[in-house]
Amino acid sequence: MVHPRLVFQELIAPKVLRFYDEKWIFRGHRSDFREAISRITRVDADVLGDCTLLESKPVARRMSWASRRTTTRIEDVAYCLIGIFDVNMPMLYGEGDRAFLRLQEEIIRRSNDISIFCHAPLRPHPSTSLMGKEDLPPDLSDLYFCDMLAKSPEAFSESNSISRIRGTLSDWKPNSAASKGRAWATSREYN
């Protein structure tokens, strides 16, 4: 049985993947079940067929594949994504949620894929409840505000249909992390 939480190294990385039933009777290869695995896990079927296509998928879409993943330790959710994003970062057990923030920072350092910011708040941001809906302009009163970086992969649960934006990423220049924030430069002018 393919479980929705079984996604990463277990399904994508192996060159050959065989499926057996509970009596250890061979049932088929990954290619035989590619569409079914894709429906269950939400991992794109083409990636299941060719892991070299992984890099062509937007960051937010790859994050969505982990949105239903549960682990014993909170930080393991981030650590199981290291290979999916081809980043290097030390594993610091005991850091909890901070691991996922560090993972996103590493992804941002390595990639100019702005889809990493295409996530939704898991609950209303405190600033909305402090202001109250009556204090917001009418066009913003039904919106929730969220931080730039997601708290967990769960925030990407609705990002599975995001496609790569073509022709606009070249306008973004490499960003840098500063001690008090992040800097981005773009060659576009906005009025």
> What local confidence, expressed as pLDDT, does residue 41 receive?
87
* Beta pairing, strands 26-29 & 18-20: antiparallel
The domain spans of the chain are 1-57, 58-160
> What local confidence, expressed as pLDDT, does residue 140 receive?
53
d(CA 29, CA 48): 11
> What local confidence, expressed as pLDDT, does residue 100 receive?
95
Q: Tens digit of pLDDT for each residue in 20-64? A: 999 999 999 999 999 999 998 889 999 998 988 999 999 999 999
> What local confidence, expressed as pLDDT, does residue 70 receive?
82
Mean pLDDT in order along the chain per 10 residues (191 residues): 58 88 95 92 91 91 90 90 91 93 94 88 53 55 67 91 62 52 46 31
